[in-house]
Structure 1
Amino acid sequence: MKKTNKKLTFWDILYWILAVVPFLISLIFYSRLPDQVPTHWGADNVVNGYSSRNMAAFGIPAFMFFMAVLVNVLYRIDPKRENISRSKELKQITRWFVVILAVLVQVITILSGIGLSFNVGTVISVPIAFLFVALGNYLPKCRQNYSLGIKLPWTLADEDNWNRTHRLAGYVWMAGGFLMMILGFFNLSKLYFTIFLTMVLIPSVYSYLLYRKKNSGS
């Protein structure tokens, strides 16, 4: 059997550097953090939850680092990992968003902890909306797998169902992502969440209807 040695690329190195940046940010500002640090905000952009200094500085980054590791492990052990590799744009978007989000979350946490005030809802919701636009653009090309995409009993059991569901979801997620991005600037969290639920439900219901139609004729 021929062995393939995967070389560590510049982008791999940059990825893991970004994964540890939240820890470095916390170390730099640790002495300026209060005993209780804001870590949760309501729909009105008012703080409604706090964490201890150590949890905010190192617990949250540790969780995000675990997620960065986990997403890479899942892609490697997926029984259909060849299909994930064929969906390389989608794979890279999801991988990189985890570490970029980790840095963003830690910057927000630390800046809030040292007393700076800003619209947290917009800072978080707009990048998430942009993620859906990017994912929607490549979702129709996503091949059947167990780690990436819309994983429902009907999509996993039928490749045609998977392909048709992801084609529809691509349009829905791009349109919904653009709407969410606009709403994020205006801090309309209830409508933002409604659009998100709609983006989840439309492909799911469509996939189920395809399944019912196919099985009713058999």
Structure 2
Amino acid sequence: MPGVREGDVKYRRQRALTLAFVLAGFAASALAYPDLPARMATHWNASGEVDGTMSRLAGAFFLPALTAFVVGLLLAAPSIDPRKQRYESFRGVYEWVVAGTAGFLAYVHVLVLAWNLDYAIPIGQALAPAFAALLYACGVLLDRAEPNWFVGVRTPWTLDDDEVWRETHERGALAFKLAAVLALGGVVLPDYFLVFVVAPTLLAAAYATVYSYLAYRRREA
């Protein structure tokens, strides 16, 4: 196709889905805008109570704009990475995760709009399965990622040794998949939503970081 890069054609399904999610966020805001309150609830504490608000304009369009910005950065990363050739082995999975990230943010935005339109939605309980899906997708991506500068567990030890990268990402993938399963606890116990989502995610990230150091030390011994 003239004027279209090969990667854009190869991953057109993922790109189309990503674009659909970004546009859906803006469209939902435009449709709901006349009925939104002057001050929109945009943040909830651990108890599910509103503890942050924005003006109607900011509340309606900040998250769609943020989604577009994040997606743009993620799509640009493989092109500017000095190790761009490493992406080819996992680029398909990467593009699906980008689409999933856009979908996750669009879903969060729809929940925010619905709550501000007076729909009684338990925010934490509704977010838990979406977080679980995103964490599992991250686990899948970690399992496939080759050494690069943008994606994965990028510590001094994984970037210095490809074998340490491989070992760390195998362990990290399992840790994030387990965190995804634990995040589903927020569906059953919504009052502890943040505990089920944040704690396993932080533990998975810390485990992968520490493991990369220990694996490096073991190879250096």
Give distance in 1, aligned partners of 2:105 and 2:200: 24
The runs of 5 or more residues in structure 2 that have no matched partner are none
The number of aligned residues is 214
Once the two structures are superposed, residues 115-144 of structure 1 have per-residue CA deviations (whole angstroms, 9 ceiling, x without a partner) of 112111122232111222233234232211
Alignment CA distance shift 1:167-1:49 (3 Å): same
Counterparts in 2 of 1:58-69, with a 5 A limit?
58-69=61-72
TM, length-normalised to structure 1: 0.89
Superposed displacement of residue 182, structure 1: 2.6
Give distance in 2, aligned partners of 1:132 and 1:5: 30
Amino acid in structure 1 at the alignment position of 2:175: V
Amino acid in structure 2 at the alignment position of 1:205: V
Q: Could you tell me which residue of structure 1 aligns to residue 201 of structure 2?
A: 196
Is residue 78 from structure 1 mapped to residue 81 from structure 2 by the alignment? Answer: yes
Alignment CA distance shift 1:161-1:46 (3 Å): same
Once the two structures are superposed, residues 44-86 of structure 1 have per-residue CA deviations (whole angstroms, 9 ceiling, x without a partner) of 1111111100001112211111111111011221111222221
Q: Could you tell me which residue of structure 2 aligns to residue 206 of structure 1?
A: 211
Q: Could you tell me which residue of structure 2 aligns to residue 154 of structure 1?
A: 157
TM, length-normalised to structure 2: 0.88
Amino acid in structure 2 at the alignment position of 1:157: D
Superposed displacement of residue 43, structure 1: 0.9
Is contact 1:154-1:161 (8 Å) kept? yes
The runs of 5 or more residues in structure 1 that have no matched partner are none
User: Which range is displaced more, 53-62 or 8-17?
Assistant: 8-17
Amino acid in structure 2 at the alignment position of 1:207: S
Once the two structures are superposed, residues 1-22 of structure 1 have per-residue CA deviations (whole angstroms, 9 ceiling, x without a partner) of xx98425435433321321211
Once the two structures are superposed, residues 161-206 of structure 1 have per-residue CA deviations (whole angstroms, 9 ceiling, x without a partner) of 1000001112222122111123343222224322222111111111
